[in-house]
């Protein structure tokens, strides 16, 4: 399933790219994500925990940075995880492209090619897109707070880590359902 998101941040693209490459520094901003170990320059072992309504899923796995193209402002990552209790798997290839937003900030375009098995696979694409939208919104808010607390000229990893986000993210199923319905109604009426 292909998920598409956008992310707007008040930081110049050339300053944002090195920050996005430093997964250890930004992982605490993604709700439910943690890095346990760095296995090499571009590979990390970690855990992602997400609660969607009554269902909580955990994946232990590996995230690898496959491509960094600073000139094109493009970052490609691959994540693969398995539920520790054997209840499913998740994998994703995530491509992020950063451009100028016209106001001195950055606009990130994120395409995630996601494959999920197990309990979460029962949710449709619309619900999964809404979960991704909400998680990335929380990520952007945390990243903005991190940038406000840290000087932008420092090299990634040279300062105190960002304030951690909550270890588990709960996104209400009712609010997600209403969001999906609202989007479909707006599309039906040309909004």
- The pLDDT of residue 148 is 73
pLDDT digits (tens, 9 = 90+) for 52-75: 657 788 999 999 999 999 999 999
Q: Give the span between the Cα atoms of 112 and 144, in whole angstroms.
A: 22
- Summarised one tens digit per residue, pLDDT across range 110-136 is 998 888 888 777 777 777 778 778 877
> What does the pLDDT average to over 96-123?
88
The pTM score is 0.72
Domain ranges within the chain, ordered by starting residue: 2-188
* CA within 13 Å, CB half, 52: 19
3-state secondary structure of 132: helix
**pLDDT tens per residue across span 23-33:** 888 888 888 88
Q: Classify domain 2-188 at the CATH class level.
A: alpha beta
CB contact set of 84 (below 8 Å; sequence gap of 6+): 58, 60
pLDDT confidence tier of residue 79, bands split at 50, 70 and 90: very high
């Amino acid at each position: 399933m292909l998920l598409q998101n956008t992310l707007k941040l008040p930081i110049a693209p050339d300053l944002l790219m090195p920050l996005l490459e430093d997964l250890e520094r930004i992982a605490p901003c993604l709700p439910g994500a943690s890095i346990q170990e760095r296995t090499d320059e571009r590979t990390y072992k970690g855990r992602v925990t997400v609660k969607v309504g009554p269902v909580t899923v955990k994946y232990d796995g590996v995230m690898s940075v496959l491509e960094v193209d600073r000139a094109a402002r493009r970052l490609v990552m691959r994540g693969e995880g398995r539920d520790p209790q054997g209840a499913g798997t998740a994998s994703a290839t995530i491509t992020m492209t950063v451009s100028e937003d016209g106001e001195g900030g950055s606009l990130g375009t994120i395409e995630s090619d996601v494959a999920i098995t197990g309990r979460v696979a029962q949710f449709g694409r619309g619900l999964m897109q809404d979960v991704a939208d909400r998680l990335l919104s929380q990520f952007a808010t945390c990243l903005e707070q991190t940038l406000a607390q840290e000087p932008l000229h420092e090299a990634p990893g040279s300062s105190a880590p960002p304030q951690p986000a909550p270890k588990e993210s709960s996104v209400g199923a009712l609010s997600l359902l209403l969001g999906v319905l609202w989007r479909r109604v707006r599309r039906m009426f040309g909004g």
